[in-house]
Amino acid sequence: MNAQEIISLLPYSKPFLFVDEIEKIDENGVVGNFTFQPELDFYRGHFKDYPVTPGVILTETMAQIGLVCLGIYLLAEEEFVGQVAMTSSNVEFLKPVFPGEKVTVTSEKVYFRFNKLKCKVLMQNEKGEKVCEAEMAGMFLKV
């Protein structure tokens, strides 16, 4: 399964799709990126006169690339059709992300068993600075 096929299988669409590209993926992890376009609607109110990407959107971006893309790849042989439910996340925010910034998400699988995936996830800006890091887990539920 290639990167474009994985992105097409994500259960999201614009304006809630936060994956532009998958650079690398294998059974141990994934690297992908997303650019936060200045026109995204949430910037109009977060914060007045000083737009910053909300932490919940950063968390969602890390989950979509670092957890869901990897889970779809790991379940490729089963032709997974279902839903993904995040079961836990512990995120530490270190730097703000501003409109127009491109981030890279790197995820390392901790374990995948009984359709539960747990990963260590890192987000970096274009300067290579750590923006946030997390430990995330999710369940892949068949419908």
Burial of 35 (0-12, 13-18, 19+ CB in 10 A): middle
Closest Cα partner for 120 from 39, 1, 36, 31?
Answer: 31
Q: Which token pair is 68?
A: 């869901």
> Do residues 111 and 97 touch, judged by C-beta distance below 8 A?
no
- Given 3, 40, 46, 86, the catalytic residue: 46
> Which helix (H) or strand (E) element contains residue 8?
helix 3-9
**Structural tokens at position 77:** 């042989």
Is 79 one of the catalytic residues? Answer: no
Mind telling me the catalytic residues? 46
